[in-house]
Amino acid sequence: MSIIKDISLAPSGEMKINWVERNMPVLRGIGRRFADEKPFKGLKVALSVHLEAKTAYLCRVMELGGAEMYVTGSNPLSTQDDVAAALAAGGMNVFAEYGCTEKQYEDCLREVLKVGPNIIIDDGGDLVHLMHTKYTDLIPGVIGGYGAERVIHAQAAGVFINVRKIGDLVEKDETIATIRTPDGAETPVTAQIPGILRGLLRSGYPVTPGFKIADIDPRREELSNCFLISDKSRCIAGSVLELVCAQVWQ
């Protein structure tokens, strides 16, 4: 059973998703192909994204491809309750509410993981981190790809200091930031894979061990698509489908 704010909000969310469908012809075409070929038939997909109309339509396209979708929001402050309600009203498994507490947020992450997903689509790395720390028994059931390596967590408590910036190309083992510990020492934060810095905590922010501080995109060829919102949306939606299909069809 889904966990959402209010199912009566579904008509408003449905209008938004329908608008996206009309105005995203490429994704609409992929949906028609998926409906015929069913590339994800029999597969469970755990998805954590900024839950709004465009990502909701991506969920529906994957569902057309036969995927059993389990959806949550990657940020409680970006979740649109009417969109979540529309997906739930259509029978999708949705666990997301705008403005939920930290505990409620983690409970929603657990809901989409405990089904034993075969594919994880994770904007921010919280699902992958939770799986690698609390649900390790489910890892063998996940189709391989980049996951834990691209998300960097603080290894010490202290103040986070940037060395590189969002959009920079970085190499494996390159120092991208430091953590100034209470005793005045500086612990280096290094990239675990080469790629583009997609996310990076702001300098001066206090962190604790395990706190998520950076995200590296291994697709270096997408450097030019780091800056405009429309470019990011195209890059993320297209690459998600491309990479997932490559894993499923290999």
Q: Taking 80 as the threshold, does the pLDDT of residue 245 lie above it?
A: no
C-alpha closest to that of 175 among 155, 204, 147: 155
Q: Taking 60 as the threshold, does the pLDDT of residue 247 lie above it?
A: no
- Residue 166 three-state SS: coil
Which residues, 6+ apart, have CB-to-CB distance to 85 below 8 Å? 4, 5, 6, 7, 8, 9, 10, 13
Measured distance between the N- and C-terminal CA atoms of the chain, rounded to whole angstroms: 33
Tokens of 201: 């905590």
pLDDT single digits (tens) 41-78: 999 999 999 999 999 999 999 999 999 999 999 989 99
pLDDT single digits (tens) 76-98: 999 999 999 999 999 999 999 99
Higher pLDDT pick, 212 / 118? 118
For residue 41, give the DSSP letter.
T
Residue whose tokens read 């069913």:
38
H or E stretch covering 213: strand 212-217
Q: Taking 60 as the threshold, does the pLDDT of residue 100 lie above it?
A: yes
**Rg of the chain, C-alpha, whole Å:** 18
Distance CA 151, CA 250 (A): 25
Give me the pLDDT at residue 241, please: 58
Q: Taking 70 as the threshold, does the pLDDT of residue 242 lie above it?
A: no
Rama region for 74: left / alpha / beta (φ>0; ψ in -120 to 50; rest): alpha
Percent of the chain scoring above 90 in pLDDT? 60
Contact 164, 200 (CB under 8 A): yes
Give me the pLDDT at residue 229, please: 47
How many C-beta atoms lie closer than 10 Å to residue 129's C-beta?
18
pLDDT single digits (tens) 125-182: 788 889 888 999 998 888 755 556 777 888 999 999 999 998 899 999 999 999 999 9
Quickly count helices (H) and strands (E) in the chain: 7, 12
As a 3-state breakdown, the chain gives helix, strand, coil percent values, each rounded to 5, of 40, 20, 35
Higher pLDDT pick, 14 / 201? 14
Average pLDDT on 21-44 reads 91
Give me the pLDDT at residue 98, please: 97
Distance CA 98, CA 80 (A): 6
* 81-89 helix and 53-64 helix, angle to the nearest 10 degrees: 20
